[in-house]
Every structure is written in structure tokens, then in C-alpha cells.
Amino acid sequence: SPEDVSLMDRTEEASVEEVWEALSEWKTLKQRAELLDTARQNDHPSSGGAKVDA
């Protein structure tokens, strides 16, 4: 997870910008997965069918 990444350790392998971009993408994908899971759960017929676009 992004919380486990040290920029000091990673800058030897990649630029700071590359590390930030990778962390940002990881966080975005995690948030989208959570939204999709919520939408899937809310789409159940007994839940009222609320939908979320991710």
C-alpha cells in the first residue's frame, strides 16, 4: 500500500515523480474498487437499486 512505501528507498530505483504517479494510480484504483463494490452491493434488488458511477 502507499503507506508502506518510502520515497527515500524508492528514489534509487525510480524518480520521485514516477513513485508519486504509481502511488496516485494505486490509490485511485483502490478507491474505484471500493466504489464499484458499494455499487454492486447497492444494486441488489432488496437494497433499492441505488447506483454509483465510478
Q: What is the DSSP letter of 44?
A: S
pLDDT tens-digit map of 19-46: 888 889 999 999 999 999 999 888 765 5
5 burial type by CB count under 10 A (0-12 exposed, 13-18 middle, 19+ buried): middle
pTM flag (> 0.75):
no
With CA atoms as reference, report the closest residue to 26 among 4, 8, 41, 11.
4
| pLDDT of 13 above 60 | yes
